[in-house]
Amino acid sequence: MGRLSLYADAQGRTALHESGFSWMAAFSLPVWALQRQQRLLAVVILVVQLGLGMVVAQLGLAEGTQLALFVLNVLANGFLAAPLQAWLLRRRGWVRSAEEPPPRPARGQP
């Protein structure tokens, strides 16, 4: 689980952001974008993913290669979703107002 950050905008609205890997984004990036009310981003992602799927199908790659590309796509979506959301929030004028502190090591551990 990633660390939580609270963002606020000029109107006083708040948004919660979690850093780290996102399973929702990993397997369905457009649904992840819609969940965060990013409709245009969801449409762009859907078009890009459909285009990539068509390109891979036209290349006639072996099944093992297609599986490797799928796994790579899933991992990239999961790891890049949180930084993308933070960037979009900052770009739209949202400011980080609070952040969860890093976890403390357990007693007896360095």
pLDDT, one tens digit per residue, over 38-87 is 899 999 999 999 998 899 889 988 889 988 988 999 999 999 999 999 99
Q: Give the C-alpha separation, 32 to 46, whole Å.
A: 11
> What is the pTM assigned to this prediction?
0.74
Rounded to the nearest angstrom, the gap between the alpha carbon of residue 94 and the centroid of all alpha carbons in its chain is 17
Q: Is the pLDDT of residue 103 over 80?
A: no
Give per-residue pLDDT as tens, 2-47: 789 999 999 989 988 888 899 999 999 999 999 988 899 999 999 9
Q: Which two tokens stand for residue 38?
A: 């990013």
